[in-house]
Amino acid sequence: GRLEFVGGGWCMSDEAAAHYGPAIEQLALGRRFLRREFGACGTPRVAWQIDPFGHSRQLASIFAQVGAPPFAPSPAPRGTLASGLTPSSLQMGYDGLFVGRVDHQDKATREQLQEMELLWRASGSLPPPTADLFTGILPNVYNPPSGFCWDQLCSDPPVVDEDSEENNVDSIVSAFLQIAASQAESYRTNHIIMTMGSDFHYENANLWFKNMDKLIAHVNARQANGSRVHVLYSTPSCYLWELHRANLSWSVKTDDFFPYADGPHQFWTGYFTSRPAFKRYERLSNNFLQICSQLEALAGPVAREGPYGPGNSSVLREAVAVAQHHDAVTGTEKQHVADDYARQLAAGWESCQLLVANALASLSGSKENFIFCNALNISVCPLTEAAGRFTVILYNPLGRRVSWPIRLPVNGASYAVTDPQGQPVPSEVSPGQLPHPPARPAVWELLFQASVPPLGFSTFTVSRLSRGGPRVHPARTPVLSQPQEIQNEHLRVLFDPLTGHLKEIQNLDKSISLPVFQNFYWYNASVGNNESPQASGAYIFRPNSSEPIPVSSSKRVSTHLVKVGGGDGVPGARGVPRVLSPQPCFLQNALVQEVHQNFSSWCSQVVRLHAGQPYVELEWTVGPIPVADGWGKEIISRFETTLQTDSRFYTDSNGRQILERRRDYRPTWNLSQTEPVAGNYYPVNSRIFIKDKKFQLTVLTDRSQGGSSIFDGSLELMVHRRLLYDDNRGVGEPLVELGADRQGLVVRGRHLLLLDTVESAADQHRLLAQELFMAPYVVLAPGGGPSYRHGQPSLRQFSALRQELPPNIHLLTLTPWDAGTLLLRLEHQFERGESVNGSQPVTVDLLNLFSAFTITSVQEMSLGADLPLSAISRLVWTPAIGPAQPRPVPKLDPSQVTLQPMEIRTFLATVRYKVPG
């Protein structure tokens, strides 16, 4: 064939900063579009990731499971699969993957060893060959061979074959044959692939094809003189087919392709953090998309056409999908393009909020004036600040009950909160986090802990008891002789009384403690030097020194303890004054204990313990990063411990698998390290941890960031960066991010710290990471709305599940598909062997799982959801370490769906709703 679709996603997604959830969704969205528009022949068989800046193990595992139909370029007997095509065992998908960007040292080694094509074993949990993926590294990234670029953007000479003095056929053919022979030395079969095109090419396709036609004709004409080179137009699938026919065994890779460097001082590790505000907005948008899709599925068609207007989840779905692009969530786009991505997401939120309102009214039986306070992240919500009474509806998208801290801006002194059963809920009023929004009075925050059932909502009523801010009793007592601390049922956190820094964390449940020092630093961004002119930019991280500079100019800050008491027989609150000095202040009440730290005028942090929660929350606020001194700055939060880590640390792959990293080391070649900091940075999508033989310190993130362990016992995360020079990789402007006020972007985020034993750590970080990713969502209303249907009682609490899912099972997808059908994805969220209980197989009764509808029939699908699992087949490759036999697809029993560690299973369910419409 001469034309085929490759990849097939809504975009060519990034592989470092993209989370596996939206990565699967964007792939499925694009493939569904192709199948709808072009039929079966539009289904891609090859993954095509030729521009992302490094390649992840989890994305490779997804590509292996997405699904491809039987295909044979040559005739095969009717009723049989072509030779080498085997029915899939567990949703096996693409026949192979082609990538363009591989570290320059890695590529040089592979060319020498003829390992430019390999078998990537992309999971240590799924049985081979489930996640095995044939992977080919293209010879010139995605460009043509040197001298053979014939686009209007290029300057290479065209093929002149007329009878004239300019005839250059012999020289061009000879040069091409020499390049082909040189390339063939790095590949194992007598077939090689060349890409003919590049960025922004084919606006004038005739130039390309006219010259390629001539090249093909004249190269093949040389065969008459003994040449053994034959050139033809081809496709990735046809090339892959020929490699398979060679019947070779292929070297096996089990790690990933991070970090990527295209030169000695050119590590593409800055984009792991670039545009941190947009990275968070993308993560929040996917969170809300899942809630929107779930409620659309639970309420049925009334969600799309209800009393609040037409709701539409596709606007946000497409915006989140395109945000996965390798120049979107990465932060490597121009500023006006980043603004447009954000605009598209905002339009999607508006459409989904109508849908959510329709669905909540239908499910609760009450037509409330639902209010979505989109500025809660900066403590702005007119309803809660002004109203004497309002309701809080908290929706939980997880398959298990969640206890979630609520923080709402208020201006009253005290409030009463009641749960769905009318029982009082402990609450406090405390000072809001600094800095406050510009031109606004200091607001207070109402705090309470809300319990929400699985896949459902709880409604809480809030009533103001008295006006005015809480009276201030700043019982400020200098504490210099003993450590200052905060504590809840599970943890004690100690602070150095002289410096105010975090000093130690104690896990009270396990009777373990660990000295932990935390501070903020900045790397001075390189503008180029004698070794290399490379500057730090949107893509590339290059500090001009391996030693970062502390953000705080003072090592010694005075510390004051501020205790907050209650009153009136109910948990109340007394506030603390606004702290403008660089000294920490301590806040303690029944629900939360906080230490407010100010490291500089542009960097602050709240260290927080919530009642009943087994983690330490560090909420940091950074910016505007000052650059008037002419220095670009890359801000990190660093943790230093006494753990003996032997150069090792661990990062997640797209929020799912965990990979071991070793400082100054690569598993598949002998690394020559030229950048001791940037060359050890890896993408951290959801978590990073260090451990010794006994204890593990895990830090969970609320967005993708770059992270590392630069010396033993330490780990660090880059939270923000502001740069004054372009890194010459295509953006064409510095990553300066001025923000709305043109003064520079202020970014706020959270790190959650877990201290546990090595054997128990996964039980905590797996569930908590999923809670961060699929967080409950707050909808507000004045209350007292009319009934949705005449005589329908209002429902203040609702769960769409008959019972909670087991903790190791996650409902990854619940969304409407075609009329009367829903798409379901269930996943096992533990890896094999990482937890005694969590890593066990689990069986779920799909037919009796949901209470909102009745499932009448189920069909198991590929991960991409565009093909039945029974229809999937793909090429089976032979690993050099020995063959792995695919398992037959078991017959589906929807009452007993078993999931093995790291397995995702996808179903199309035909449903009947209990309430008509």
- Residues labelled as active-site residues: 51
In degrees, rounded to 5, the angle at the alpha carbon of residue 376 between the alpha carbons of residues 370 and 377 is 150
Looking up tokens 């390189």 gives: 526
Q: Do residues 842 and 807 make contact, with C-beta atoms less than 8 angstroms apart? A: no
Q: Do residues 300 and 917 make contact, with C-beta atoms less than 8 angstroms apart? A: yes
Exposure of 190 by Cβ count < 10 A (0-12 exposed, 13-18 middle, 19+ buried)?
Answer: exposed
Q: Identify the CA nearest to 724 among candidates 710, 709, 740, 738.
A: 738
Amino acid at 902: M
DSSP 250-293: E-EE-S---S-BSSTT-B--STTTSSHHHHHHHHHHHHHHHHHH
Looking up tokens 């892959």 gives: 240
Exposure of 112 by Cβ count < 10 A (0-12 exposed, 13-18 middle, 19+ buried)?
Answer: exposed
Name the pairing type of β-strands 657-662 and 412-418. unpaired
DSSP 424-493: EE-EEEEEPPSSPPTT----EEEEEEEEE-TTEEEEEEEEEEEESPPPB---EEE--SS-EEEE-SSEEE
Q: Do residues 100 and 142 make contact, with C-beta atoms less than 8 angstroms apart? A: yes
Tokens standing for residue 589: 């009440």
DSSP lists the bridge partners of residue 651 as 659, 688
CA–CA dist 589, 563 (Å, integer):
8
| HSE toward the beta carbon, residue 700, CA cutoff 13 A | 23
Buried b (16+ CB within 10 A) or exposed e, 600-623: bebbbbbbbbbbebbbbbbbbbbb
**Which stretches within 365-425 are classed as H helix?**
382-386
SS (H, E, C) 189-207: CCCCCCCCCCCCCCCCHHH
Q: Is the dihedral of CA 187, 189, 190, 193 positive or negative?
A: negative
Amino acid at 787: S
DSSP lists the bridge partners of residue 500 as none
CA–CA dist 71, 237 (Å, integer):
10
Tokens standing for residue 620: 């940091």
Tokens standing for residue 673: 């390290």
Contacts of 30 (CB under 8 A, 6+ apart): 7, 8, 9, 10, 11, 321
Q: Where are the beta strands (DSSP E) in 663-776?
A: 682-684, 687-691, 695-701, 705-708, 714-722, 747-757
User: 512 in helix, strand or coil?
Assistant: strand
Exposure of 127 by Cβ count < 10 A (0-12 exposed, 13-18 middle, 19+ buried)?
Answer: middle
CB atoms inside a 10 Å sphere around CB 71: 20
In degrees, rounded to 5, the angle at the alpha carbon of residue 97 between the alpha carbons of residues 92 and 100 is 160
Continuous segment of H or E residues that includes residue 20: helix 20-38
SS (H, E, C) 821-882: EEEEEEEECCCCCCCCCCCCCEEECCCCCECCEEEEEEEEECCCCCCEHHHCEEECCEECCC
CA–CA dist 101, 80 (Å, integer):
38
Contacts of 613 (CB under 8 A, 6+ apart): 403, 405, 488, 490
Looking up tokens 């008959």 gives: 802
